Amino acid sequence: MRPARALIDLEALRHNYRIAREVTGAKALAVIKADAYGHGAVRCAQALEAEADGFAVACIEEALELRAAGIKAPVLLLEGIFEADELALVVEHDFWTVVHSLWQLEAIEQATLSKPITVWLKLDSGMHRVGLHPKDYPAAYQRLLASGKVAKIVLMSHFARADELHAQSSTEQVAVFEAARQGLAAEVSLRNSPAVLGWPQIHSDWVRPGIMLYGATPFEEANAVADRLQPVMTLESKVISVRELPAGEPVGYGAKFVTDKPMRIGVVAMGYADGYPRQAPTGTPVLVAGKRSRILGRVSMDMLCIDLTDVPEADLGSTVELWGKNILASEVAQWADTIPYQIFCNLRRVPRLYSEG
């Protein structure tokens, strides 16, 4: 079999969840949307269910997958319903749902529900993506209560720039949220991963750890709490060919790299069809035979080339770590001018192998 694979450390996942609980003292919904950021939603939910306060997914399809796998914990639909008839499934499967638009509120008011549901009422506090306008927020809360169809309301919003630790916008968004919720008696949820890790002064009864669960930092700078996270995914493959090239020889498509001295080149079974970022340039780090090295030339669909010149012990069959516990996903993402969220979510074709540490 092709040697490319993703090793998923479920104990590291639990470790990172516990950090979210420890540093906030809050209840925590583990965000496992987008197939747990490429880590496998069902297996991650199974690993966390004994201690997680619940899970958060993007849409009802993702939530139904969890219920079909036997997950009984609360599951929040972060984008809420897309059609009014989805409310029947929300009731049937005991999902929690975000209400971020007036039409969703109206759908609940008009629905015939066999039992009341839990709603997370979302305010647009300044990100301007989804969420109710502050002027509509108190009335929406009162309408939900008056409908008789809601068992509990959690008040929520989402930060646009919490990963920028010196930006003022998060503080400004909190002020908008606090003004809009005056007089509304309910728990609140504001803190996502960067706010959990870097904004301890922000109150949140519920937190929503996402990228931090998978051991990647959302910050470009050092952060004491983020430094305690453990990478969950190790993406690895093997050297499948070795070349000895003289100076002046091109490597890979487009001759984006030309040897400047006699070099030893390894070809690795890994490419952009596996989700490795095509834009990763020469110099992007890898670990081969236990030593750091670098990518050379352009990443192709199924293969990429690495420098073995200073790793004489590396040869055909040597293991290569593309990211993981030694080569951090955040470092690869910086080289590729992207973010760890994207490189995790782009993973495909590579089998996932799960372990308990």
- How many CA atoms, within 13 angstroms, populate the side-chain half-sphere of residue 152? 10
Per-residue tokens: 82:
């897309």
Which member of 33, 122, 149, 238 is catalytic? 33
301 among annotated binding-site residues? yes
Per-residue tokens: 191:
């803190």
Which member of 152, 214, 253, 256 is catalytic? 253
Q: Exposure of 65 by Cβ count < 10 A (0-12 exposed, 13-18 middle, 19+ buried)?
A: middle
212 among annotated binding-site residues? no
Largest separation between any pair of C-alpha atoms in the chain: 78
Is 253 catalytic? The answer is yes
Helix axes 60-68, 41-48, angle to 10 degrees: 60
Residue 251 pairs with which residues in a beta bridge? 257
User: What is the Cα–Cα distance from 300 to 288, expressed in whole angstroms?
Assistant: 19
DSSP state of 132: B
Strands 96-99 and 117-122 turn out to be parallel
Residues 87, 113 contacting (CB under 8 angstroms)? yes
Is 122 catalytic? The answer is no
Residues forming the active site: 33, 253
Binding residues for substrate: 129, 301
Residues in binding site: 129, 301
